[in-house]
Amino acid sequence: MSNGTDNFYVSDRVTIEKVTFRNQYGMTVAGNFFMADDLDRGRRHGALVVGHPMGAVKEQSANLYATRMAEQGFVTN
């Protein structure tokens, strides 16, 4: 029973951008960057890194949490 949970929730108030960066070992890491559309991009904001639990699909878990946190004013990745 889902109790109203939507694992593929997409917010109309949050922009998602694909990003890549190199980690300390030189490996390329890929992720999604979430930011509320109404956030002032000229100011600093709190940020969170949301990792998916092992055995889960990032679009079903981490994206849901990151989107919800972005709606609350955090920049998430």
pLDDT single digits (tens) 10-52: 899 999 999 998 989 999 988 889 999 999 989 998 888 887 6
Say if residue 1's pLDDT is above 50.
no
Phi-psi region of 15 (alpha: psi -120 to 50; beta: other; left: phi over 0): beta
- Which residues, in sequence order, are CB contacts of 23 under 8 Å at separation 6+? 29
Q: What pLDDT, on a 0 to 100 scale, did the predictor assign at position 51? A: 76
In 3D space, the residue among 77, 71, 21, 74 whose CA is nearest the CA of residue 49 turns out to be 77
Whether the full predicted model's pTM is greater than 0.85, yes or no, is: no
